[in-house]
């Protein structure tokens, strides 16, 4: 469906909203939830729309921006509206026709007027004409929000006035959906059947009228539901039929709207089509006018509504403005434009087909933009020119007073600089002396820093040499032991001896595997980036228990989980696994299984003061006090009698440093050890 305003701008109901075309630019104004528009009508400065039980109106604000205003929420009964067939402005109020009722809107409140039967509504002179369906139907005028019957003969059981169009001063035409066309006398209100070929066409079975439009006193056009368009004259003769075989896009449900030049816009299910009646002598009352539709300044657009006031425009840093113009009612491809910006240009531009003009580096001030247009081929079309004023705010430096202020500021600045330089020269010697002393002190400090850095580098090199040596030894020793055991095992056939050698081989392999794992953990902590995620404490401990289930005496130690079963911690899961795995493994490895108390390892986890507090407690052999200070050093072993790499607790400390955590311990020989870990809470 489509409608045309007094300026010649065409609006179409679209599946996503309201589509506007001014002859040059297409603009879509979206409805809430992108609901389609199946009905629209322009009444004064509002465009009323309906579609999918949503009805409201589009209206431009003072700046020219089009916005949608819903009326659904104003319905007092909250009932759905199946459709709206027409909108009429009457006695200061707006009326909507729908099913068997009218909806009255006074600008604030909506009221539903139950009319008792299905009806349609039309404007007739200064009245509102109602057409009712049913055996008690007829034609009526709306008076005091009730129906006043004027014709009881025009009635059908399931039909009513589908379109109501003026033919001439003495006759109007009423179009029904399936019962043909009727004359309506505007003086007596009597109706009679319209004679002619077109009437017979619409009285046929299965031929239903969809829409009708008056082209002139002697020419009308109708569209049927499924049989295209029909042009007929005042005598009812069909002079032209149009369907999908003769040029229109679709022969079904095609809606036609007459524009200001007497041509037709066709709205179909496949798009929009323009039907122009060729008549070189035809004269139209339409007076086209060139328009500047909107101005773009950077990313913002400003609509130009009229020339009655000065338009204030804010520009970007480049002082650039784009003017977009058109002649509503005429296509741009048929037009040429000429323009000039008064107080910036001296004369009109050459005629051009370009509908856009860009100005750059515009100084602040008030300008008048003049626009004129002409038809490229039809010289008899007189297009009214357009002018409007716009104001660009001046930058501060464009005002005369700014030069005075800048001059005074420069004089003050020069005076200040002279005073400043004089003062600076007076203290230069003192500063130079102070600077020499400071530089001497800095050199001494830098020497000390270099000396400390050199010592630190020596320490790092020693640690590296020690790491290489110890790593080589701890890697080679299990391999040599394994190679010797393989040689000895090959020299005997005794099954028991071979089994013992295999057991010893497995011990060597475990030593090698443990050391390699320590090296891998150290490498992971050094290179791998942090990956923070939330993980269950049970998941981490289950993984550690799975790795330790084949350790010697592992089945003798009870693992106590002293935390809520759903306790979770957000940290780097891989690094936390390395920390807890080393602590639990050490607790298992250094247990005294000859003690009377049942051996256990207790893991505690809780949140406190924006931190996670984790504890690993055992009742093992404990760590002698003299070893506790060095227990986290690389390759340090407090228990020389038990095999190990000496890297485990060093890796624990190094890993916690990466996690911004802390660790301490409490230990007593033959009682046990508790390691306490503090990790920061992470959002």
What does the alpha-carbon distance between residue 219 and residue 228 come to, in Å, rounded to a whole number?
A: 17
Please tell me which residue, 443 or 285, carries the higher pLDDT value. 443
The reply to whether 324 and 277 lie within a common domain is: no
* DSSP secondary structure letter of residue 194: P
Q: Is 473 a residue whose pLDDT tops 60?
A: no
The reply to whether 302 and 282 lie within a common domain is: no
Using an 8 Å Cβ cutoff, are 505 and 545 in contact?
no
Please tell me which residue, 169 or 434, carries the higher pLDDT value. 169
By mean pLDDT, which of 162-176, 477-491, 531-545 is the weakest? 477-491
Scan for tokens 């009429």, then name that residue: 88
Q: Which two tokens stand for residue 180?
A: 């043909």
What does the alpha-carbon distance between residue 527 and residue 239 come to, in Å, rounded to a whole number?
A: 87
pLDDT confidence of residue 511: 59
Question: Residue 353 to residues 125, 276, 290: CA-CA distances in angstroms?
Answer: 43, 22, 13
Domain annotation covers residue 517:
no
What does the alpha-carbon distance between residue 561 and residue 432 come to, in Å, rounded to a whole number?
A: 69
The reply to whether 268 and 305 lie within a common domain is: no
Q: Is 47 a residue whose pLDDT tops 80?
A: yes
Across the range 208-225, mean pLDDT stands at: 90
Domain annotation covers residue 76:
no
CA distance from start to end of the chain? 55
- Give the count of domains, the chain: 4
Scan for tokens 């019962």, then name that residue: 179
Give 514-572 as a 3 state SS string.
Answer: HHHHHHHHHHHHHHCCCCEEEEEHHHHHHHHHHHHCCCCCHHHCEEEEECCCCCEEEEE
Q: In sequence order, which residues have a C-beta less than 8 Å from that of residue 614 and are 6 or more positions away?
A: 580, 603, 604, 605, 676, 677, 679
The reply to whether 200 and 271 lie within a common domain is: yes
For 292-345, how does the pLDDT look when each residue is reduced to its tens digit (9 = 90+)?
A: 887 888 777 777 867 777 778 877 666 788 899 999 888 888 899 999 999 888
The reply to whether 273 and 324 lie within a common domain is: no
Q: Is 282 a residue whose pLDDT tops 60?
A: no
Rg (CA), the chain: 47
Q: Which two tokens stand for residue 605?
A: 């986890």
Domain annotation covers residue 99:
no
For 115-127, how does the pLDDT look when each residue is reduced to its tens digit (9 = 90+)?
A: 989 999 999 999 9
* DSSP secondary structure letter of residue 511: H
pLDDT confidence of residue 222: 93
Pairing of strands 335-342, 365-375: antiparallel
The reply to whether 302 and 234 lie within a common domain is: no
pTM confidence score: 0.56
Q: Where is 502: in which H helix or E strand?
A: helix 495-527
The reply to whether 596 and 561 lie within a common domain is: yes
The reply to whether 317 and 381 lie within a common domain is: yes
Domain annotation covers residue 180:
no
pLDDT confidence of residue 437: 84
Domain at 373, CATH number: 2.60.40.10
User: Which parts of 152-298 are beta strand (E)?
Assistant: 161-168, 171-176, 181-184, 191-193, 209-216, 219-224, 229-233, 238-242, 255-258, 264-268, 271-275, 291-297
pLDDT confidence of residue 271: 83
Ranked by mean pLDDT, which of 75-79, 511-515, 635-639 comes out on top?
Answer: 75-79
Q: Which two tokens stand for residue 495?
A: 């099954």
Domain annotation covers residue 510:
no
Domain annotation covers residue 183:
no
Q: Where is 656: in which H helix or E strand?
A: helix 648-658
Domain annotation covers residue 659:
yes
The reply to whether 277 and 295 lie within a common domain is: no
Q: How many other C-beta atoms are found inside a 10 Å radius of the C-beta of residue 426? A: 9
For 373-386, how does the pLDDT look when each residue is reduced to its tens digit (9 = 90+)?
A: 998 888 778 889 98
Domain at 649, CATH number: 3.30.565.10
In three-state secondary structure terms, 231 is strand
Query: Please, how many CA atoms are within 13 Å of residue 423, restricted to the half-sphere of its CB?
Result: 6
For 496-515, how does the pLDDT look when each residue is reduced to its tens digit (9 = 90+)?
A: 888 877 777 776 676 566 55
What does the alpha-carbon distance between residue 301 and residue 594 come to, in Å, rounded to a whole number?
A: 87
Question: Residue 216 to residues 231, 234, 594, 681: CA-CA distances in angstroms?
Answer: 11, 10, 116, 81
The reply to whether 299 and 279 lie within a common domain is: no
* CA nearest to 576, candidates 588, 568, 566: 568
Q: Which two tokens stand for residue 216?
A: 């002139």
How many whole angstroms from its chain centre is CA 558? Answer: 56
* DSSP secondary structure letter of residue 377: S
In three-state secondary structure terms, 299 is coil
Task: Kindly report each contact of residues 109-113 with a partner whose C-beta sits within 8 Å and lies 24 or more positions away, as own/partner.
Answer: 109/74, 109/76, 110/71, 110/74, 110/75, 110/76, 111/76, 112/75, 112/76, 112/77, 112/79, 113/145
What does the alpha-carbon distance between residue 303 and residue 292 come to, in Å, rounded to a whole number?
A: 8
The reply to whether 209 and 347 lie within a common domain is: no
How many whole angstroms from its chain centre is CA 111? Answer: 38
For 271: left if phi > 0, alpha if psi spans -120 to 50, otherwise beta; the answer is left
Across the range 533-557, mean pLDDT stands at: 88
Angle formed at CA 561 by CA 560 and CA 563, multiple of 5 degrees? 145
Domain stops at, among 398, 420, 441: 398
pLDDT confidence of residue 492: 83
Mean pLDDT of the chain: 85
Domain stops at, among 375, 398, 421: 398
pLDDT confidence of residue 349: 93
Please tell me which residue, 107 or 508, carries the higher pLDDT value. 107
Domain stops at, among 53, 70, 87: 70
Range(s) of the domain holding residue 44:
1-70
* CA nearest to 300, candidates 312, 314, 318, 311: 314
Domain annotation covers residue 186:
no
Name 80's bridge partners: none
The reply to whether 257 and 389 lie within a common domain is: no
Q: How many other C-beta atoms are found inside a 10 Å radius of the C-beta of residue 32? A: 11
Torsion 76-77-79-83 (CA) sign: negative
User: Which parts of 360-445 are beta strand (E)?
Assistant: 365-375, 386-392
């Amino acid at each position: 469906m489509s409608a045309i305003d007094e300026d010649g701008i065409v609006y179409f109901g679209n599946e996503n909203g309201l589509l506007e075309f001014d002859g040059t630019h297409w603009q879509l104004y979206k409805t809430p939830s992108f609901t389609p528009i199946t009905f629209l009508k322009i009444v004064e400065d509002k465009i009323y729309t309906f579609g999918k039980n949503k009805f409201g109106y589009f209206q431009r604000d003072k700046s020219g921006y089009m916005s949608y205003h819903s009326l659904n929420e104003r319905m007092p009964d909250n009932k759905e509206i199946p459709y709206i067939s027409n909108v009429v402005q009457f006695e200061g109020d707006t009326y909507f026709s729908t099913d068997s009722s009218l909806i009255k809107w006074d600008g604030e409140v909506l009221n539903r007027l139950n009319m008792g039967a299905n009806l349609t509504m039309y404007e007739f002179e200064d009245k509102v004409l109602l057409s009712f369906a049913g055996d008690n139907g007829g034609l009526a005028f709306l008076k005091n929000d009730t129906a006043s019957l004027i014709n009881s003969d025009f009635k059908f059981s399931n039909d009513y006035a589908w379109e109501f169009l003026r033919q001439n001063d003495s006759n109007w035409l009423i179009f029904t959906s399936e019962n043909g066309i009727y004359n309506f006398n505007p003086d007596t209100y009597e109706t009679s059947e319209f004679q002619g070929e077109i009437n017979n066409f619409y009285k046929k079975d299965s031929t239903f009228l969809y829409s009708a439009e008056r082209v002139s006193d002697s020419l009308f056009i109708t569209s049927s539901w499924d049989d295209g368009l029909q042009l007929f004259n005042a005598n009812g003769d069909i002079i032209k039929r149009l369907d999908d075989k003769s040029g229109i896009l679709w022969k079904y449900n095609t809606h036609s709207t007459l524009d200001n030049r007497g041509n037709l816009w066709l709205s179909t299910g496949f798009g929009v089509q323009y039907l122009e009646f060729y008549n070189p002598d035809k004269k139209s009352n339409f007076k086209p006018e060139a328009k500047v539709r909107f101005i773009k300044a950077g990313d913002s657009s400003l609509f130009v509504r009229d020339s009655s006031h000065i338009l204030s425009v804010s520009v970007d840093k480049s002082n650039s403005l784009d003017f977009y113009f058109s002649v509503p009612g005429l296509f741009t491809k048929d037009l040429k434009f000429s323009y000039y910006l008064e107080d910036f240009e001296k004369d009109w531009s050459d005629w051009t087909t370009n509908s856009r003009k860009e100005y750059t580096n515009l100084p602040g001030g008030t300008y008048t933009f003049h626009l004129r247009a002409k038809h490229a081929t039809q010289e008899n079309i007189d297009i009214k020119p357009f002018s409007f004023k716009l104001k660009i705010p001046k930058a501060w430096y464009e005002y005369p007073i700014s030069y005075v202020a800048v001059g005074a500021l420069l004089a003050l600045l020069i005076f200040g600089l002279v005073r400043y330089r004089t003062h600076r020269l007076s203290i230069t010697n003192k500063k130079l002396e102070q600077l020499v002393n400071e530089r001497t002190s800095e050199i001494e400090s830098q020497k000390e820093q270099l000396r400390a850095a050199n010592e630190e580098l020596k320490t790092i090199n020693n640690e590296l040499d020690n790491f290489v040596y110890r790593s080589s030894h701890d890697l080679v020793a299990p391999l040599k032991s394994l190679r010797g055991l393989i040689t000895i095992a090959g020299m005997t056939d005794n099954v028991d001896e071979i089994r013992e050698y295999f057991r010893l081989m497995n011990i060597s392999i475990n030593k090698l595997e443990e050391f390699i794992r320590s090296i891998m953990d150290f490498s992971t902590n050094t290179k791998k980036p942090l990956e923070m995620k939330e993980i269950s404490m049970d998941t981490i401990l289950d993984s550690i228990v799975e790795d330790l289930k084949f350790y010697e005496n592992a089945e003798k130690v009870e693992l106590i989980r002293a935390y809520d079963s759903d306790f979770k911690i957000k940290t780097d899961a891989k690094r936390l696994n390395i920390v807890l795995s080393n602590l639990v493994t050490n607790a298992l490895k250094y247990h005294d299984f000859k003690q009377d108390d049942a051996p256990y390892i207790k893991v505690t986890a809780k949140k406190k003061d924006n931190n996670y507090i984790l504890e690993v407690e055992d009742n093992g052999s404990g760590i002698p006090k003299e070893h506790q200070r060095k227990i986290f050093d690389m390759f340090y072993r407090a228990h020389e009698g038990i095999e190990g790499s000496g890297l485990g607790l060093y890796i624990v400390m190094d890993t916690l440093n990466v996690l911004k955590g802390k660790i301490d311990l409490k230990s007593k020989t033959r009682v046990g050890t508790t390691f306490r870990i503090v990790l920061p809470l992470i959002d």
